[in-house]
Structure 1
Amino acid sequence: MDLSMSRDEREKFLAEVRVGVLAVPDDRPGLAPLQLPIWYDYRPGGQVVLLTDRGSRKAELLRGSGRMSFCVQDENAPYRYVSVEGPVTVEDRVDHDEWEALAHRYLPPEEAASYLAANRHQLDDYATFRMRPEHWRTADFAAFAATFN
């Protein structure tokens, strides 16, 4: 049974509002890849966009490896996930409109306004990381779950 999503399905799924999990190789001896939850933006056919503190460990590792993998899931049955991997580009700045749109993507309007007002320093401290997906791994367990009914 093929559980993979079509191109349109996977891109639509990745574009939905979810908290993603970033994974990037950690070059320190004896450590597994760094994995963390993070807000992101994605539009079908485009790039996964992350904003993070340019001095953070994840930013350092992203710059050093030049690649990342990224996964989002639906934890409600029937389960689905999309995992993408590809090269990373970095901009040592954050576009105000992109930052504001990301806050509004994840927070209700009133909370987004408060968040933005309280975190204006991010425009000076953050960098933008973009990844164009090269490799996709997907699964939609709906067809599999239907065999149980």
Structure 2
Amino acid sequence: MLVITGRASRRARLAAEAGRFALLVGRTVPFYRYVSVEGEVVSVTTATEEEVREVGSRCLPTEEAVAGHVEQVLADPGAAVAIRVRPRRRLSADLGASG
């Protein structure tokens, strides 16, 4: 798993100190759904353009939006880090209307 965040962020500091990382993504509308991932931190390094693009392309709707995101994140060289995590535990739930 790859996460991009600010070098000075609490998230980056705690991940580096603890050597562990957990991420939860959820939504409640229209139905409750979530996925969580926990694991050990493999590395915390300065984010590269390729890593920022990889993460941005998963979340943003167009290549134009991805390009703008990459430009914004890399405007301050060294300000973003890439946290690589080896997932050890995954949980998910989908309480949507299925019948």
Where on the TM-score scale, by shorter chain, does this alignment land: which range?
0.7 to 0.9
| 1:131 equivalent in structure 2 | 85
Question: Relative to 1, partners in 2 of residues 1:93 and 1:78: Cα closer, same or farther, differing over 3 Å?
Answer: same
The 2-side partners of 1:118 and 1:72 are apart by 23
CA distance in 1, matches of 2:93, 2:73: 36
The correspondence for 2:3, drawn from 41, 50, 56, is 50
Richer in strand (by share): 2
Query: Which residues of structure 1 form unaligned runs of 5+?
Result: 1-47
**Matched-pair contact (CA < 8 Å) for 1:96–1:123:** no
Greater relative contact order (Cα < 8 A, sep 6+): 2
Residue 94 of structure 1 aligns with which residue?
47
Distance 1:112 1:120 in 2: 12
**Equivalent residue, structure 1, for 2:34:** 81
Q: Please, which runs of 5 or more residues in structure 2 have no aligned partner? A: none
% same residue: 30
TM-score, normalised relative to structure 1: 0.54
**Whole-Å separation in 2 of the counterparts to 1:98 and 1:82:** 22
Q: Alignment length, in residue pairs?
A: 98
Normalization by structure 2: what TM-score?
Answer: 0.75
Distance 1:106 1:142, change over 3 A: closer
Report deviation, 1:137.
2.2
